[in-house]
Amino acid sequence: MFQALLSTIQNEVSGAAAKGLVAKISQWHRIQASPMYREAAEWLHATLQGWGVSSELESYPVGEGGLAWGEPLFDEWSCDEGWLDLLQPGGGALCLADYRAVPLSLLPRSASADGEYELVVVDGGDREEDYVGLDVVGKLVLTRSSPMSVHRMAIERLGAAGVIFDGMRSIPEICPPGDLPDDIQYSSWWWYGGETRAFGFALSPRSGAALRRRAAQSDRPLRLRARVRSRLGPGAIESVSARIQGQSDEEVLLMAHLCHPAPCANDNASGAAATMEVARALHELIESGRLPRPRRSIRFLWVPEMTGTYLYLAHHEELIGKIVAALNLDMVGQDQGQCGSVNMVVHTSDALPSFVGDLLEAIRDGMGGEYHTFNGRADPPLFRYASTPISNGSDHYILGDPSVGIPTPLIIEWPDRFYHTTADTIEKVSSVTLGRNMALAGTYTYFLAAAGAPEASWLAREMNARFAEGLSRKLQSAVTAALGGERPIGAPWDARVAFRIDRQRAALDDLRRLDPAFDPAPFHAAAQASGELLWAQSREVLESWYPAGREDLPPEQAGLVPRRRYRGPLSLSAHLARLPAAERDAAVAELRGHRGFDSLTADIALYWADGKRSLGEILDLVELETQTRSPGGLHAHFATLAMLGLIDLA
């Protein structure tokens, strides 16, 4: 059904050419709402036009206090100079950080500063007890905690002048502590309104450790000289879009975020470059007649992550109903051996069930045959791959919010040993990985742009085959755990199976996006039958295997119905940042009191809020999707959104 198309696109896209584009993009310090990002967007736009691809560069005004739907906007930032020196006791200075040499050594959005400062070394830094016996007023705090977590206490409460950050994230399996001693971890200030703005620098763990030793061995406080020349104020954010005209005004969207600091080659110069090369390839194939002009138009979009997607959608609401599906490319170039990454297909939420994830998986499965086994009877792929349920953290979770309604999976190479560090360089990018993911993305995009009745019918069968296989595996894993004496978690299994069947039926219904005349009834019946058969085989073991004493909301909370005021997810931390310090601290303390109710659970809970469902119903649906049940966390989250004026709750 797609093999000939896949072969055609594989032969047209060039991983080597895309890697060259990654190298170009990674030269820019692509901070959202900055002249540096703007230069990258202008270059991308000009490059597309040079290829003959019709494209448009749009600019949206931004500034502190503004909103795109419910997403808080922020000021534009530009910087001319930023350096930090350690003053030597006998005179002279040792350079610790220089923005010109290593842009990430200055925290993005740092305010201007010019002076000498004492150094105070802090363990932790986000709690009041971390500062017992310390005077930080007008001084620089050296911490391994993220600057924004330290800001509230060190800057706003205790009057520190700024922060020096020498932390480094670790993933024990691929990046244990101490693995990147000479690289710098990306961290940033985010100013949404009302905060005390500050400046800050970032050091490598080795440089930070040396500074800590000097401080411990000195009989007097170390002194530093810092200078930052920057500007924060109203500005603009740019998006670049391109379009291949189809036979109708319906569209399929392929997108990537263009932002992130220099170099950030895999994150996400790789996704931006891959989207460019797919746009070029499809344009060439269609214009040359090697592929027929599809039923639907194909749109390509490059934006600053999250913010740009909100802005683009808010300025083009007339397009939303025309986009039948989308795909997000984020971090798609990793050399898996160096980075420790796995090719991941991330599905849509159960709140917006669709065919898109199954289609993407089917195409990827069709990309085997990279190597013949010794007996010639199998063609295994030579890369690691997996699939996961919905995640947040990139632009697909905005498009895939049911209030927006564009089913959007994600392709990502994850995890990444060098993620958000100065080590994310072009040497970590693989032209082979880029080529593979571009072929996958290009095939998915064109297939959906051209799809009609035959494709919808085939895809329904593919979806049901994958549904039966997936449910069978889930049930057998649960049977194994139950018989092994493991502790049950989540909802009762009969409810889970019924939920999975219901969501499969809804996903089959979604095929009407491709063929309005598609009849899902026979496929509903097939999914129902296979689900019931699989449950019958597992019922004896799993029927009573679920946690006892499951918590519920009190009746006065369970009946509350949240009604959304804005389309799209809500960035709670950004809205909390606009509150007075005491109110913000109280809200954060309440939310932190419910462990297990994390940001993804919160986003999924909001997905299920359709203006009709009660909190009690949402609690059950969130548990069925995530196996997380936190009545207190759910109520606290929606109560906080209501307090902030982001939803109505009654």
- Compute the distance between CA of residue 166 and CA of residue 140 in angstroms, rounded to an integer: 13
Distance of CA 427 to the CA centre of its chain: 23
- pLDDT of 187 strictly over 80: yes
- pLDDT of 19 strictly over 60: yes
Shared domain for 332 and 419, answered yes or no, is yes
The angle at the Cα of 529, spanning 523 to 533, to the nearest 5 degrees, equals: 150
Q: Which amino acid is at 107?
A: L
- Compute the distance between CA of residue 205 and CA of residue 543 in angstroms, rounded to an integer: 52
- pLDDT of 27 strictly over 60: yes
481: in domain = yes
Shared domain for 622 and 645, answered yes or no, is yes
The mean of the pLDDT values for the chain is: 97
619 forms beta bridges with: none
| Count of other CB atoms within 10 angstroms of residue 559 | 13
Give the model's confidence band at 596: pLDDT under 50 very low, under 70 low, under 90 confident, else very high: confident
Average pLDDT, stretch 244-261? 99
Kindly report the CATH number assigned to the domain that includes residue 408.
3.40.630.10
What integer pLDDT is reported at residue 641 of this predicted model?
A: 98
Which of residues 418, 450, 482 is at a domain's end? 450
Shared domain for 305 and 331, answered yes or no, is yes
Give the model's confidence band at 119: pLDDT under 50 very low, under 70 low, under 90 confident, else very high: very high
Contact 271, 434 (CB under 8 A): no
Distance of CA 217 to the CA centre of its chain: 43
**DSSP code per residue over 514-539:** T-TT---HHHHHHHHHHHHHHHHHHH
Which residues, other chains included, contact 119 with Cβ-Cβ below 8 Å and sequence gap of 6+? 139, 140, 142, 164, 211, 215, 221, 222, 223, 224
Higher pLDDT, 511 or 547: 511
The radius of gyration computed from the CA coordinates of the chain, to the nearest angstrom, equals 26
550: in domain = no
- Compute the distance between CA of residue 312 and CA of residue 532 in angstroms, rounded to an integer: 44
What integer pLDDT is reported at residue 194 of this predicted model?
A: 81
- pLDDT of 580 strictly over 90: no
Average pLDDT, stretch 306-326? 99
- Compute the distance between CA of residue 110 and CA of residue 93 in angstroms, rounded to an integer: 22
User: Which DSSP state fits 69?
Assistant: T
- pLDDT of 413 strictly over 90: yes
360: in domain = yes
| Count of other CB atoms within 10 angstroms of residue 525 | 11
Contact 565, 646 (CB under 8 A): yes
- pLDDT of 247 strictly over 80: yes
CA distances 111 to 188, 195, 229, 550, Å, are: 12, 12, 8, 49
Nearest to 327, CA basis, from 259, 414, 267, 395:
395
Give the model's confidence band at 585: pLDDT under 50 very low, under 70 low, under 90 confident, else very high: confident
What integer pLDDT is reported at residue 376 of this predicted model?
A: 62
Shared domain for 535 and 603, answered yes or no, is no
Which of residues 426, 450, 474 is at a domain's end? 450
**pLDDT tens column, 222-241:** 999 999 999 999 999 999 99
What integer pLDDT is reported at residue 464 of this predicted model?
A: 99
304: in domain = yes
Nearest to 292, CA basis, from 253, 244, 338, 251:
244
What's the number of domains the chain is made of?
A: 4
547: in domain = no
Give the structural domain span for 168. 76-232
Give the model's confidence band at 372: pLDDT under 50 very low, under 70 low, under 90 confident, else very high: low
Shared domain for 499 and 357, answered yes or no, is no
Q: What percent of the chain has pLDDT over 70?
A: 98
Shared domain for 381 and 493, answered yes or no, is no
Shared domain for 201 and 123, answered yes or no, is yes
What integer pLDDT is reported at residue 371 of this predicted model?
A: 57
**DSSP code per residue over 498-517:** HHHHHHHHHHHHGGGGT-TT
Which residues, other chains included, contact 516 with Cβ-Cβ below 8 Å and sequence gap of 6+? none
- pLDDT of 373 strictly over 60: no
Give the model's confidence band at 382: pLDDT under 50 very low, under 70 low, under 90 confident, else very high: confident
pTM for the structure as a whole: 0.97
Shared domain for 208 and 68, answered yes or no, is no
Give the model's confidence band at 370: pLDDT under 50 very low, under 70 low, under 90 confident, else very high: low
Average pLDDT, stretch 433-451? 99
Kindly report the CATH number assigned to the domain that includes residue 106.
3.50.30.30
Shared domain for 265 and 340, answered yes or no, is yes
Contact 301, 278 (CB under 8 A): no
Nearest to 560, CA basis, from 608, 623, 618, 600:
618
| Count of other CB atoms within 10 angstroms of residue 590 | 16
Shared domain for 484 and 609, answered yes or no, is no
Which residues, other chains included, contact 51 with Cβ-Cβ below 8 Å and sequence gap of 6+? 279, 280, 283
Which of residues 512, 542, 572 is at a domain's end? 542
549: in domain = no
Shared domain for 242 and 389, answered yes or no, is yes
Shared domain for 268 and 347, answered yes or no, is yes
Range list of H helices, 202-306: 205-217, 270-287
